[in-house]
Amino acid sequence: MGEAKRKATRGATGASPCGTCTMCCTLSHIVALDKPMYRPCRHLVGGDGRAGGCGVFGGPERPEACSAYECAYHTAHRTAHPDRRRIPHPLDAGAYFHKDPIENAIVVFVDPDRPLLWKSSAIVPILRNALAGGLALVIFDRGRRMTVRASGHLDEILQRDYVAFADAQGIPREIASYEAERRPQPSAVSSGSAIP
Ligand code: SF4
Ligand code: SF4
Instruction: Give the mean pLDDT of the chain.
Output: 87
Over residues 124-143, mean pLDDT? 98
Ligand 1, atom 2, lies closest to the CA of 71
Ligand 2, atom 7, lies closest to the CA of 54
Binning pLDDT at 50, 70 and 90, where does residue 48 land? Answer: low
Binning pLDDT at 50, 70 and 90, where does residue 186 land? Answer: low
Q: What is the pLDDT of residues 142-154, one digit of tens each?
A: 999 999 999 999 9
Q: How far apart are the first and last CA of the chain?
A: 37
More confident residue, 50 or 163: 163
Return the DSSP state at 85. G
Over residues 120-148, mean pLDDT? 98
Q: Which helix (H) or strand (E) holds 146?
A: strand 144-148
24 lines ligand 1 (CB under 6 A): yes
Specify the 3-state DSSP secondary structure of 83: coil
CB 45 within 8 A of CB 55: yes
Residue list, ligand 2 pocket, CB within 6 Å: 1, 5, 25, 30, 41, 43-44, 54, 56, 62, 66
Task: Give me the long-range contacts of 133-138 (CB less than 8 A, separation at least 24).
Answer: 134/104, 135/99, 135/104, 135/105, 135/106, 136/103, 136/104, 136/105, 136/106, 137/105, 137/106, 137/108, 138/100, 138/103, 138/105, 138/106, 138/107, 138/108
CA of 44 to the centre of ligand 2 (A): 6
Binning pLDDT at 50, 70 and 90, where does residue 178 land? Answer: very high
The fraction of the chain above a pLDDT of 90, given in percent, is 74
